[in-house]
């Protein structure tokens, strides 16, 4: 998992967290930034267990055309480290 976060973090031209909302065991982090010179935004959801440890991370990006390009590039950077079927394949 560290390889995924390291590779994806390096792909952003900029990123800024704009809002944080906590609801029970979940924290919602809204963010905006740039990838490949394009505007991107999304939400990261952190789910915690009863001791407060993060058990699950969900990341949602927009817009779709940036998501597809991001996924393709991430797949290249993680080749041999993660299953290639996890990433958008060029058509």
Interval 51-74: pLDDT, tens: 999 999 999 999 999 998 998 888
Mean pLDDT of the chain: 90
CATH of the domain at 51: 3.10.450.50
Q: Which residues contact 49 (CB under 8 A, 6 or more apart)?
A: 25, 55
Domain presence at residue 46: yes
Domain presence at residue 9: yes
The total number of structural domains that make up the chain: 1
Burial of 17 (0-12, 13-18, 19+ CB in 10 A): exposed
Domain presence at residue 89: no
The span from the CA of 91 to the CA of 89, in Å, is 6
The span from the CA of 79 to the CA of 81, in Å, is 5
Domain presence at residue 33: yes
Q: Give me the domain span that covers residue 44.
A: 2-84
pTM greater than 0.75 = yes
Output 60 or 1, whichever has higher pLDDT: 60
């Amino acid at each position: 998992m560290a390889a995924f976060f390291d590779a994806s973090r390096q792909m952003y031209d900029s990123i800024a967290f704009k809002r944080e909302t906590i609801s029970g065991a979940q924290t919602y982090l809204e963010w905006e930034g740039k990838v490949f010179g394009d505007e991107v935004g999304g939400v990261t959801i952190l789910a915690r267990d009863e001791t407060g440890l993060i058990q699950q991370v969900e990341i949602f990006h927009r817009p779709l055309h940036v998501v597809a390009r991001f996924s393709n590039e991430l797949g290249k950077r993680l080749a041999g480290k993660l299953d290639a079927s996890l990433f958008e394949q060029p058509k």
